[in-house]
Amino acid sequence: MPFIRMLRRVGQSPACVCWTSVLPVRFLGVSPRQIPADANFHSASFSDTDHPRVLITGGLGQLGVGLANLLRKRFGKDSVILSDIKKPPDRVFHSGPFIYSDILDYKNLREIVVNNRITWLFHYSALLSAVGEANVSLARAVNITGLHNILDVAAEHNLRLFVPSTIGAFGPTSPRNPTPDLCIQRPRTIYGVSKVHAELMGEYYHYRYGLDFRCLRYPGIISADSQPGGGTTDYAVQIFHDAIKHGKFECNLEAHTRLPMMYIDDCLRATLEVMEAPTESLSMRTYNVSAMSFTPEELAQEVLKHVPEFQITYNVDAIRQAIADSWPMNFDDSNARKDWGWKHGFDLPELVTTMLNFHGSETRVSQAN
């Protein structure tokens, strides 16, 4: 582990290491005894003419490619590096810089940040809720150990760090309708536990070391150009694929299961806006954001307005249903709206129209080919 290697360089044995001594060693490469107890490290700031140098981890997931496209329009194609451990499709590879990055390899992360002069880091590597429950040990490694590497690299190199959180960070004892920013959080999935851990560790690094940590709790994210990735809210993506291709959809949640949702364009815009928000406007480091809240039945009724022959049936997955029943029904995102001016652009009717138009045009192109 990087902790032990760094400590051995300064002549300490692992047995004498304590947590408070580790991070400053990475910051400065000297004995922890030389670091004042009140030491504070601040992120680099940018003038209006400067552009951040951006790294996105887990970039081939549902949000990474879209975020890279948004940031490249804003900051320039070569200023945004997409990374993952998988081989990218041609369209992604040719759209801008892409590199291999394993968040479990601290040395690899550090080299990427140094060699590319990274100043902003968006950490999207994670196993989602249902997939995480099927492989807890892998989820623990990726979602927790990987996060620790990201935090240490970001703190060492004075990065502005964004780590997404989720509705899954709440549990059955949290208030569900609405769920405020600050309340009890006792999730019952490894995904949710790892996200609470990320929120608390990021805030700790901010208050203890001055790390510019920023976090949004995403609701279910619906995107037109990506496949479902193993999340509990993925039914709200799959329903559009199936409505266009088959005229019917089998839902794995109960008809009246209400969850907060957001269209991907709003999600990506919120992410950029919170990263660009002045530090003094942020009253907290982790915010709820939302746009709408609906049930499978309500979503199906809206789809029916556009696809009259559409039919929905229900074959409930007990694991996914138990997860959904422990999550918020509505998000209270009033602090985000007050502090940095968050406003969503898509409600349910706009969402359904956009998704069906996309998949309808995609299907017509395939049929023509």
Catalytic residue annotation: 191
Read off the amino acid at residue 294.
F
Q: Which residue has the tokens 């995107």?
A: 223
Bridge partners (DSSP) of residue 218 are 166
Is 250 strand, coil or helix?
Answer: strand
CA-wise closest residue to 62 among 217, 207, 227, 205: 227
> What percent of the residues of the chain are helix, what percent strand, and what percent coil, each to the nearest 5?
50, 15, 40
Q: Which two tokens stand for residue 111?
A: 């080299």
Is 258 strand, coil or helix?
Answer: coil
Bridge partners (DSSP) of residue 161 are 121, 213
- Compute the distance between CA of residue 204 and CA of residue 284 in angstroms, rounded to an integer: 12
Instruction: Please say whether the dihedral angle defined by the alpha carbons of residues 184, 125, 92 and 271, taken in this order, is positive or negative.
Output: positive
Number of other residues whose CB lies within 10 A of the CB of residue 324? 24
CA-wise closest residue to 323 among 190, 147, 196, 142: 190
- Compute the distance between CA of residue 87 and CA of residue 4 in angstroms, rounded to an integer: 32
Do the beta carbons of residue 102 and residue 112 sit within 8 Å? no
CA-wise closest residue to 168 among 45, 288, 263: 288
Read off the amino acid at residue 69.
N
Three state DSSP letters for 194-246: HHHHHHHHHHHHHHHHCCEEEEEEECEEECCCCCCCCCHHHHHHHHHHHHHHC
CA angle 145-272-186, nearest 5°?
Answer: 45
